[in-house]
């Protein structure tokens, strides 16, 4: 396990950075990829090899994968972590932004996966770790496009797992709940940008207040998710899905327990 070659996307901050740091400490060879090279350089003293990568740009994706294959001859693990939240009312978010949400959260991820699969298949082994979210299982208002991209990632990963298992490739979904990262700031900026004024403005203010209060109260750091990623890599037979942490599991249990009408009522009540 110690000499595995891992490519981590979105490694400049949050879950991706925490995963890169933990894997480096655990003896893996880590290629940390993101757009913010200044942030990535902070990982170099730990032994990371850094790459510029814009997952929404096909040429950038091709260059990154080619660089790793040229240097190492293989990629054993792809951690698809890059993503963001284009929050705002479905009515307000421009279609160009909605399409970009899917380009980053789904299509860019899918293209990277296509690029690494041939080498994995030839070797008869490999792991694809897709960082999803409980937002792929449960939906709240003002995040429709983000939720839709994560719902799609769930189905995509299930199909990929069924298709590639015959070649010794294992596909794992990580489904974090609330985690303390920069993600919330980006999502809330977008939310205010697109729907902070107008008919959805009051709902935006209520959701923002609830989100900040709930998010900051007891949410774990990204290191908790990184530990689960490492666990999925070390496991001989990893689960198809890992919900992280207890809070996420509790939310998914409530989703499973309540019929849609009651769940809608509960969400609306919390946002009053």
Tell me: the pLDDT tens digits for 68-101?
A: 999 999 999 999 999 988 899 999 999 999 999 9
* pLDDT (0 to 100) of residue 112: 98
* Catalytic residue annotation: 146
Q: Is the model's pLDDT at 1 over the cut of 60? A: no
* Residue 50, both tokens: 């850094």
Q: Are 146 and 135 in contact (CB under 8 A)?
A: yes
Strands (E), the chain: 5-9, 29-34, 49-52, 77-80, 126-131, 169-176, 241-244
Q: Is the model's pLDDT at 2 over the cut of 60? A: no
What CATH number belongs to 5-270? 3.40.50.720
Count of beta carbons in the 10 Å neighbourhood of residue 127: 21
* Residue 124, both tokens: 């008869």
CA 80-81-85 angle, 5° bins: 125
* pLDDT (0 to 100) of residue 183: 67
CA 30-73-132 angle, 5° bins: 45
DSSP-assigned letters across all residues of 129-152: EEE--GGGT---TT-HHHHHHHHH
* pLDDT (0 to 100) of residue 247: 85
Phi and psi dihedrals of 106, rounded to 5? -130, -60
* pLDDT (0 to 100) of residue 266: 92
* Residue 58, both tokens: 């096909």
* 272 compared with 87, residue with greater pLDDT: 87
Q: What percent of the chain shows pLDDT beyond 70?
A: 96
* pLDDT (0 to 100) of residue 165: 97
Each domain of the chain, given as residue ranges in start order, spans 5-270
Mean pLDDT of the chain, nearest integer: 93
The per-residue pLDDT for range 233-246, each reduced to its tens digit, is: 999 999 999 999 88
The Cα 180–Cα 120 span in angstroms is 33
Specify the range with the lowest mean pLDDT, choosing from 47-61, 178-192, 249-263: 178-192
- At 218 the three-state DSSP class reads coil
Q: What is the rounded average pLDDT of the residues 105-128?
A: 97
* 272 compared with 212, residue with greater pLDDT: 272
* pLDDT (0 to 100) of residue 215: 59
- Specify the pTM: 0.93
Q: Is the model's pLDDT at 14 over the cut of 90? A: yes
């Amino acid at each position: 396990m110690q000499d595995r070659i891992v490519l981590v996307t979105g490694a400049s901050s949050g879950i991706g950075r925490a995963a890169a740091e933990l894997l480096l400490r655990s003896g893996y060879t880590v290629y940390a990829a993101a757009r913010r090279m200044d942030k990535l350089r902070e990982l170099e003293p730990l032994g990371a090899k850094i790459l510029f990568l814009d997952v929404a740009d096909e040429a950038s994706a091709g260059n990154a994968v080619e660089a790793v294959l040229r240097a190492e001859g293989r990629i054993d693990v792809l951690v698809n972590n890059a993503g963001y939240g284009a929050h705002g009312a479905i009515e307000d978010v421009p279609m160009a932004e909605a399409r970009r949400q899917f380009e980053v959260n789904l299509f860019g991820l899918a293209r990277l996966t296509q690029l690494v699969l041939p080498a994995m298949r030839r070797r008869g082994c490999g792991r694809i770790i897709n960082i999803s979210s409980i937002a792929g299982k449960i939906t709240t208002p003002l995040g429709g496009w983000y939720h839709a991209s994560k719902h799609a990632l769930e189905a995509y990963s299930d199909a990929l797992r069924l298709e590639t298992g015959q070649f010794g490739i294992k596909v794992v979904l990580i489904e974090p709940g609330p985690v303390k990262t920069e993600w919330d700031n980006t999502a809330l900026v977008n939310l205010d940008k697109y729907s902070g004024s107008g008919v959805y403005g009051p709902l935006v203010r209520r959701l923002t207040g609830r989100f900040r209060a709930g998010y900051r109260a007891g949410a774990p750091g990204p290191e908790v998710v990184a530990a689960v990623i490492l666990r999925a890599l070390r496991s001989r037979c990893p689960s198809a899905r890992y919900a992280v942490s207890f809070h996420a599991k509790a939310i998914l249990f409530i989703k499973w327990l309540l019929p849609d009408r009651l769940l809608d009522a509960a969400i609306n009540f919390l946002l009053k």
